[in-house]
C-alpha cells in the first residue's frame, strides 16, 4: 500500500496492514509515502505472526529503510497459524451483564453502540445488528482522567461507495466526557493486565488490531485463538489505545452508483 492516509482509531497504516496480514495469513510489504502533512506515514514488513519490522514517525519527514527476513512461503512454515472460526467462541457464550447500559457514539460518521468500562476489571457484552461483542478485561491501573468503552458496529461505512463493516473494539476515549468516544486519540496512560475480545462475526475476513500509546504495535504480546478470541498473552507493556476485531463483509458492500448506471 502506498500513499495510505492514517485514520485513527482503526485505520492507521501500521495498525491495519499488520492486522490484514494476520487476518489473511499472508506476508505484506507496506511501503508507504512519508508525508506527515497529509497524515501519510507508517511502513512495515508484516507476517501472519505479526510485524517482522515496522516504522511509524509523524514528527519528521525522514524515511527509513526496513529490512527483515521472512518465510517466502508462510503456509509451509511449521508456525503458520491455523484457520480461525471467528464467531465460534462468541456464538457459544452467554451475554455478559451490562449490555443495557449503552449509548451511541460516532467513529467518524459511523454510529457505534458503546458501553463504558466503569471498573478496573469486568465482563461486558455490547450488540448492534447481528453482531455481539464480548470482552473480558483487567486493567493494571485505571487512570481517573481516562475512559474506555466496548463498542460494536454492524453496518455500511462510506458516503458514495458503501462498505459493510462489523467491528468489535475496546477503545480509549479522548476524555472522560463520553460524547468524545470514537474521536481520534494517540496517547494513553492505562495499561491492562489482560484482555479477551470476541464477536459473533458473519464473515471469515476479520483483522485483529492492538494499538498502543504513541501509535505503536504490540508484536508478540497478543494471540488469536482458533475459536476467534483476541487475547493478551501477558499484561500490556505500554498503555492501550485500542484492541479491535475489524470484520469485512465484502459480499454486502454496495456497488459504486456510477457502475450501476453503466
What does DSSP say about strands 163-172 and 240-248: parallel, antiparallel, or unpaired?
A: antiparallel
| Cα torsion angle, 209, 53, 2, 47, sign | negative
259 versus 76: the higher-pLDDT residue is 76
Which pLDDT value is given to residue 195? 99
**Predicted structure pTM score:** 0.94
Q: Are 112 and 173 in contact (CB under 8 A)?
A: no
Q: What mean pLDDT is predicted for residues 77-87? A: 87
Please write the tens of the pLDDT for every residue from 181-216: 999 999 999 999 999 999 999 999 999 999 999 999
Question: How many CB atoms are located within 10 Å of the residue 213 CB?
Answer: 18
Q: Phi-psi category of 105—alpha, beta or left, where left has phi over 0 and alpha has psi -120 to 50?
A: beta
Which pLDDT value is given to residue 160? 82
pLDDT for 99 beyond 60 = no
Give the whole-angstrom CA distance, residue 202 versus residue 248. Answer: 9
**Where does the pLDDT of residue 75 fall: very low under 50, low under 70, confident under 90, or very high at 90 and above?**
confident
pLDDT for 97 beyond 80 = no
| Cell numbers for 6 | 492514517
Please write the tens of the pLDDT for every residue from 122-154: 999 999 999 999 999 999 988 889 999 999 999
**Where does the pLDDT of residue 76 fall: very low under 50, low under 70, confident under 90, or very high at 90 and above?**
confident
Please write the tens of the pLDDT for every residue from 14-52: 999 999 999 999 999 999 999 999 999 999 999 999 999
Q: What mean pLDDT is predicted for residues 170-189? A: 97
In the chain, alpha helices (H): 13-24, 88-91, 257-261
Amino acid at each position: 500500500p502506498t500513499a495510505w492516509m492514517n485514520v485513527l482509531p482503526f485505520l492507521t497504516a501500521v495498525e491495519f496492514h499488520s492486522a490484514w496480514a494476520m487476518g489473511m495469513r499472508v506476508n505484506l510489504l507496506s511501503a508507504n509515502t512519508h508525508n506527515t502533512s497529509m497524515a501519510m506515514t507508517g511502513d512495515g514488513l508484516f507476517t501472519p505472526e505479526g510485524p517482522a519490522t515496522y516504522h511509524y514517525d509523524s514528527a519528521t519527514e525522514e524515511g527509513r529503510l526496513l529490512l527483515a527476513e521472512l518465510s517466502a512461503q508462510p503456509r509451509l512454515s511449521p508456525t503458520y497459524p491455523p484457520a480461525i472460526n471467528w464467531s465460534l467462541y462468541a456464538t457459544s457464550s452467554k451475554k455478559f451483564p451490562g449490555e443495557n447500559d449503552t449509548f451511541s457514539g460516532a467513529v467518524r460518521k459511523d454510529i457505534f453502540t458503546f458501553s463504558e468500562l466503569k471498573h478496573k476489571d469486568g465482563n461486558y457484552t455490547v450488540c448492534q445488528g447481528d453482531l455481539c461483542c464480548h470482552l473480558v478485561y483487567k486493567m493494571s491501573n485505571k487512570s481517573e482522567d481516562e475512559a474506555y468503552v466496548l463498542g460494536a458496529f454492524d453496518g455500511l461505512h462510506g458516503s458514495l461507495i458503501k462498505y459493510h463493516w462489523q467491528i468489535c473494539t475496546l477503545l480509549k476515549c479522548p476524555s472522560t466526557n463520553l460524547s468524545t468516544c470514537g474521536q481520534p486519540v494517540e496517547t494513553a496512560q492505562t495499561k491492562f493486565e489482560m484482555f479477551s475480545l470476541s464477536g459473533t462475526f458473519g464473515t471469515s475476513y476479520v483483522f485483529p488490531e492492538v494499538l498502543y500509546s504513541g501509535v505503536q504495535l504490540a508484536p508478540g504480546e497478543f494471540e488469536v485463538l482458533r475459536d476467534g478470541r483476541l487475547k493478551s498473552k501477558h499484561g500490556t507493556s505500554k498503555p492501550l489505545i485500542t484492541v479491535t476485531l475489524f470484520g469485512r463483509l465484502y459480499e454486502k458492500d454496495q456497488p459504486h452508483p456510477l457502475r450501476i448506471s453503466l
